[in-house]
Amino acid sequence: MFAHLSPQPKDKILALMAAYKEDPRDTKVDLGVGVYKDASGNTPVMRAVKAAERRLVDEQTSKAYVGLAGDPAFSDAMIDLVLDGAVARERVAAVATPGGTGAIRQGLELIKLAAPDATVWISNPTWPNHPSIIKYLDMPMAEYRYFDEATRGVDFDGMLADLKLVKAGDVVLLHGCCHNPTGANLTADQLQQAISAIKDVGAMPFVDIAYQGFGDGLDADGAATRAIAASFDNVLIAASCSKNFGVYRERTGILMAIARNQDERDLAQQNLSYLNRQNYSFPPDHGARVVTMILTDPVLRADWEAELEDTRLGMLDLRQQLASELRRLSNSDRFDFLATHRGMFSRLGTTPEKVEKLRADHGIYMVGDSRMNIAGLNADTIPVLAKAIIDSGI
C-alpha cells in the first residue's frame, strides 16, 4: 500500500522554520514563518485569551458535541467583527472551521459542489497554500498579476487587465487586508475599480482575511471585505483568528457564504454543514469559544483590542525604523516601500540567491521569494538586517 505513495512537495515556509531551529548561530534572525513575535522573540498568549480560557475552565460544564456548523454564537460574533452589518444577517451562512486554512478548504469545496468547472483566480504571488489546496482539489486555476517588482507596490494595471480575462461564474480569490506574501495592498479607489471589474465579468469574489487588525486597525482592515460583501449577490469569506487572537494552534476560523436571499442562504448553510461532516464532523470548539467570549464581553474585548492595537503599532514602528535605517545607509528612498506595506510581511524584492546569501553569511532567515516577517525584527536586529541588505547589493 504505502510503497505506492509519491513524495509530496514540502511547505517551504515550514522547511525554513526547521532550518532556522537547526542553525547554531546565536546571532541568527528569524523573519520566516508568519507568527507574531514580541521584541524578545516570544509569541505571547494574549491577555484576553488567557482570561477567557481561565473563565472557560471554571465555567464550562460539558465538552459534549456542539453542532456541525460550530457554535452559532461564534458565527454571530465573527460575522459582526468582519462584516459589521455590511450585509443583512439572514443572507450569511457560516461554519466554524479548523483555522483560516480549513475555511479556505471548505470554501473551495463548496465552489466545487456548485460549479465544478469554475476557474479559481489567485494573485501572483499569493500564500502558497492557496494554489496547493486548489491543485489538490483538482480545480481549474489561473493567476492574475498583482505585484510590481520594480516599485514593490501593486501592479494595478496588470491586475485590472488580467481581471478582464476572468469568465462569468469564475472565482477571484482576494486578500482582505495585509497581502501575504507581498505586504502591498489596494487603495480604496483601486478596490472599487477591482470590484467593478469583477462585477463586469460576472465572477464571484472569495476573500481570505487572516490579518484583520494587523494593518491599519481592526475596523479599517475589514473595510475591503465589507465593500466586497456589499457589492455582490454571492461572496465567500474565509476568516482566520490565528493571528489577531494569537490562537494559532487552536485552529480557529470561519467560512462565511453570502447568498442572495434567505432560501439560498439556507441551501448554502446546509451544504457547508454537509462539507464539515464529510471532512471532520464537528469543527474545533475551544478557540472559537474563547474568541466568542472575548468579542461579546465588553471588558475582555476592550483589553483584546488594546493589545492587538499595541501589536499592530509595534510592527508599524519596526517597518518605519527599517525603512529609515535603509534610507540612511543607501542614501536613497528605494526602500521606502517597507513603510508603505501593511501587515506582517514585506516582500523585499530580491533573488533567491541573495536571500540564500543573507542566510549563509548573516544567519538572516527569510522566505526564498524574499518575504520578511517584520515581527521577527527588534531594535537590535534592524541595523543588522539593514547593513546586510546593503552589503549584499540588494
Smallest gap, in angstroms, from Cβ of residue 173 to ligand TYF? Answer: 15
Which residue number places its CB atom closest to ligand PLP?
A: 99
Residue 319 three-state SS:
helix
Supply the DSSP string of 23-79, one letter for each residue: ---TT-EE--SS----TTS--PPPHHHHHHHHHHHHH--------TT--HHHHHHHH
Task: Pick the closer one to ligand TYF by CB: 34 or 349.
Answer: 34
Q: Could you say which of 93, 194, 210, 288 is catalytic?
A: 210
Residue 38 CA to residue 18 CA, distance in Å, equals: 20
Q: Which stretch binds ligand PLP (CB under 6 A): 11-19, 85-93, 95-103, 359-367?
A: 95-103
11 binds, among ligand TYF, ligand PLP, none (CB under 5 to 8 A by kind): ligand TYF
Residue 35 CA to residue 28 CA, distance in Å, equals: 17
Residue 309 CA to residue 306 CA, distance in Å, equals: 5
Q: Is 257 a catalytic residue?
A: no
91 binds, among ligand PLP, ligand TYF, none (CB under 5 to 8 A by kind): none
Contacting ligand PLP (CB under 6 A), which of 75, 123, 225, 242?
242
Residue 140 CA to residue 138 CA, distance in Å, equals: 7
Q: Could you say which of 127, 259, 288, 388 is catalytic?
A: 127
**CA proximity to 178, closest of 149, 206, 217, 148:** 217
Footprint (CB under 6 A) of ligand PLP, residues 8-47: 34
For residue 271, the Cα-to-chain-centroid distance in whole angstroms is 24
Q: Does 49 bind ligand PLP (CB under 6 A)?
A: no
Footprint (CB under 6 A) of ligand PLP, residues 147-186: 175, 180
Which residue number places its CB atom closest to ligand TYF?
A: 34
Q: Could you say which of 77, 221, 224, 243 is catalytic?
A: 243
Q: Is 168 a catalytic residue?
A: no
Smallest gap, in angstroms, from Cβ of residue 153 to ligand PLP? Answer: 19
Q: Is 199 a catalytic residue?
A: no
**CA proximity to 241, closest of 293, 182, 310, 297:** 293
Smallest gap, in angstroms, from Cβ of residue 316 to ligand PLP? Answer: 18
**CA proximity to 374, closest of 345, 348, 347:** 345
Which residues belong to the active site?
Answer: 127, 208, 210, 243
